[in-house]
Structure 1
Amino acid sequence: MIHAFRLIGRDATLRLMILAMLLQGGFAASIGIYQSLIAVTIFGLSDNAYALILLASLLVSVTASIGVGILTDQRPSRRVLALCAGASMCAGALLVLVGQSATAFVLAHVLLLPVTGTLFGQLFAVARLVTSDLPRADRDGIMAIIRATFAFPFVVLLTIWGLLFEAGLPLLWVYGWTAVSGAVLMALIALRWPRDAVAPWTEVKSGLGFRASLSEMLHGPVLLRVGLIGAIHSGSALAGVIVGLLLNAVPGRGPGDVGAFFAIFVVIEIFVTLSIGALRRRFRRLHIIAAGVFIYAFGMVLLPFYADSFVLWLLCLPFGVGGAMIYALAIGYLQDQLGTRAGAGASLLALQQIAAQGLSALVFALGAALGGYGVAAIMGAVVMVAAMLAILSLDKGAATEI
């Protein structure tokens, strides 16, 4: 992993991707973790209404991400589209902060903030372009570090948010921080993101039109694997929604405990992620991902039974260890489905997201209706494991480096 850090340190573009990913992680840590609590406890939205917002947000996010992936696969436009993502982050946060109403919340989370997610795929796409000539193990190591960078703000910000909320700070202040982050992100992109005409990488353009590019991504074997990887990620998407709601329902627990839980398991996740490069040289990529899925699902199953006891804090281990093994390598697995085409690979990340978010919204709504948030957690674990077993079956005869 030290070698991967050295490779990043020598490359200005990779260093930029790290800085941008820090801000993207700050956005997810500030909004993603607390938005369910804000929707239900501040703006009075029902569980079903919030599930619909998640679904609508997902459709906008994925449509935008697929569009960005196809556009960047056809013509040089990465810098402008990255600026649009930063502007959406800033504008969406300001809308909720200024409007302070259910209407403002819905508009921001359905129309503006989902566009911010397009930057996530772009950052990994650029990193893939810059590292295209490196051995696959080195490339996986660099991708793992970038993914760990995304997780790092969860440790710092969630600890800070937990302390501030316990001291009485209103939950809506997360939108103030996000607005500032969006402004900083826009400045960073405007000043340091290479202009497409002189970008320090070589990108293979598909030469395909929009419909042909979409058909390529929807090809059966590719789409099946994208959907299954999305089903695996649906567990983490579901956890981001139900952990806050589960803990908030326990007497004596509140936003501070939510922040502490996520901060602790993300610390574990970061340390494990930074060891993925060494693991990757000894084990197959899919076997590492599978181990992560089983460990994470184990934590999901136990969560509703121990949310009110000290065992809750021990569950940070399976969430952190399992999550690291999934997130660090699943992105590379998806990108390899379309070879070196980074734009198309970023679109596959978007398709994976629609599967993950769509399934998590469905499981959340169904589980909450059948028996509450605990049932939803158990259902999410089952979905993750079933999807992983399907992938192992599909790729059991593949090359050993997969």
Structure 2
Amino acid sequence: MTTLAVLRDPTLRLIAWALLFLGALNASVYPYQSLVGIERIGLSEPAFALILALASAVSVTASVLLGILSDQKANRRRIALFTAASGTAGVGLMLVAPSPLTFLLCHGLLFPVASSLYGQLFALARLARADDGAARDAILSTIRSAMSLSFLAMLIVWTFAFGAGVGVMAVYLSGTAAAVALTTLLALKWPRDGQTAWQDQPSGLNFTRALAEIANPPILIRLLLLGAIASAGNLYMILTSLVFEASPTRDAGTTALYIGLVAGWEVPFMLLLPLITHRFRRATLIGLGTALYVTHLALMPILTESAWLWALPLLAGLGGAAILTLPIAYYQDLLAGRPGTAGAMLALQRLAAELLAAAAFATGSILGGSYATIALTGSAIALIGAALLCWLDRARA
């Protein structure tokens, strides 16, 4: 029913297609940027690390500032086109003139600016559909599945392409194609500012007041707790290749297959999630999803040599469906009437998750040094975050 609602609504259909292209763009660029930067472009590891740090700072700053600006001025179309064009320029430059400077411009500046489009798309969804509670959760989980689907499909395409001998720089071909398609789609179909079927009133808040709204303790605390939950996903991406590389029976092919299975299970569970969103509070579902996800994270280093390893992606997909999609509507309710700022909260959550995942890795290394200890440390951080979030929301209710 929800899938049909998305397909029938022109704005939701636009967002689903945009997320499909955005997923293809991300899958073309992100998984291979270290190989491109260090092995093909010739950057040193410290220089590459500095570019990643710059990219993280630019991504968060752009998401927050552009999100606030879109609420201030209600000029969402122009901002969306600007961010999409930034991504197109970045990957296009890497396609035609790869160099260390081009890599810096693309991966350090232009592509991180383009990543803010993710939150802007969900801000548009909030404006286009005023559904509350479970209905909105169902719609958002459905359109979010489009991004996971294209991400998985593109990973499969490049796995076979590399196996056939295609060079890694060819990823910018699919990246540029996806970016051009995305920008063209937004230029043709994004509703024009001031001519929408819904009211989009400027917030009237200056940047100081808007930032103070984010820093309000009830909002900031929940942001950090959701960041703690999301850090389990970041730690999983860090540990997977390390765990299988250290195994005497696993290899890089196992890593690719495992990650592909996790992403593959996320898609159907995102589509099935609407069947239960009306029965439980959002925080409860996030907590249950966290418990399932960290079970996969904690057991992965333990079951590496066992056939039971291949049952873990099922848990990861089921848990990941909840912790990837439900925070979107959660932030929209926290910042009611500020859809652009609520979308920017996803970037702030990502930053918090990256920092907490790094802290979990360092703490686990100090405590035991094994990957199992690191995974358990990260699992504990995510579970504490989920428990506190459920407690806060229960107290509020």
Give secondary structure in 2 for the equivalent of 1:199. coil
Structure 2 length normalisation: TM-score?
A: 0.89
Residue matched to 1:380? 378
Q: 2:113 aligns with which of 112, 115, 125?
A: 115
Q: Which moved more, 1:53-62 or 1:112-121?
A: 53-62
**CA contact 1:141–1:276 (8 Å) conserved in 2:** yes
Matching residue of 1:192:
189
Which residue, out of 213, 219, 231, partners 1:216? 213
Separation in 1, partners of 2:51, 2:377 = 21
Q: How does 1:317-332 map to 2 (within 5 A)?
A: 317-332=314-329
Q: Per-residue CA shift, 1:17-57, capped at 9, x if unaligned?
A: 00001011112323333334555665677877665544332
Match of 2:30 among 23, 29, 32: 32
Structure 1 residue 238: Cα displacement: 3.1
Amino acid at match of 1:81: I
Among candidates 154, 159, 167, match of residue 157 of structure 1: 154
- Tell me if structure 2 keeps the 8 A contact 1:38–1:172: yes
Which stretch of structure 1 is more off in the superposition, 26-35 or 201-210? 26-35
Structure 1 CA distance for aligned equivalents of residues 337 and 38 of structure 2: 43
Q: Are 1:58 and 1:357, in contact at CA under 8 Å, matched by a contact in 2?
A: no
Match among 120, 140, 144 for residue 143 of structure 1: 140
Q: Is 1:276–2:262 an aligned residue pair?
A: no
Pick from 91, 104, 109: which aligns with 1:93?
Answer: 91
Q: CA contact under 8 A between 2:116 and 2:344: conserved in structure 1? A: no
**Matches of 2:242 and 2:51 in 1, distance apart?**
16
Residue in structure 2 matching 1:227, options 220, 224, 227: 224
Structure-1 separation of matches of 2:230 and 2:45: 21
User: Residue in 2 aligned with 1:207?
Assistant: 204
Partner residue, 1:333 = 330
The aligned counterpart of 2:355 is 358
In structure 1, the residue matched to 2:166 is 169
Number of the residue aligned with 1:261: 258
Structure 2, unmatched stretches of 5+, are none
Deviations 1:137-185 (A, max 9, x none): 1111001101111111133122222222222323332232111111111
Write the distance in 2 (CA, Å) between the matches of 1:46 and 1:377: 29
What CA distance in whole angstroms lies between the structure 2 residues aligned with 1:183 and 1:293? 36
Structure 1 stretch displaced more, 354-363 or 41-50:
41-50
Q: Aligned AA for 1:329?
A: L
Deviation at 1:98, TM superposition (A): 4.6
Q: Percent of aligned pairs with the same residue?
A: 38
2:172 aligned counterpart, secondary structure: helix
Pair 1:40–1:388, CA change in 2 (3 A): farther
Deviation at 1:378, TM superposition (A): 3.8
3-state SS of paired residue (1:234):
helix
Q: TM-score, normalised by structure 1?
A: 0.88
After superposition, the C-alpha distances for 1:64-118 in whole angstroms (9 at most, x for unaligned) are 0011111111113211221222222222223444555555444422212111211
The residue number in structure 1 matching 2:10 is 12
Change (3 A) 1:257 1:175: farther
Q: Structure 1 unaligned runs (5+)?
A: none
Shift of 1:210: 1.1
Structure 2 letter corresponding to 1:171: V
The aligned length equals: 396
Structure 1 contact 156–263 (Cα < 8 Å) conserved? no
Three-state SS of the structure 2 residue aligned to 1:186 is helix
CA deviations 1:308-364 (Å, max 9, x no partner) are 554443221121111012122121112110113212212222322221233334545
Contact 1:293 1:385 in 2 (8 A): yes
Give, in whole Å, the separation in 1 of the partners of 2:179 and 2:361.
29
Say if 1:304 and 1:175 are closer, same or farther in 2 by CA, change over 3 A.
Answer: farther
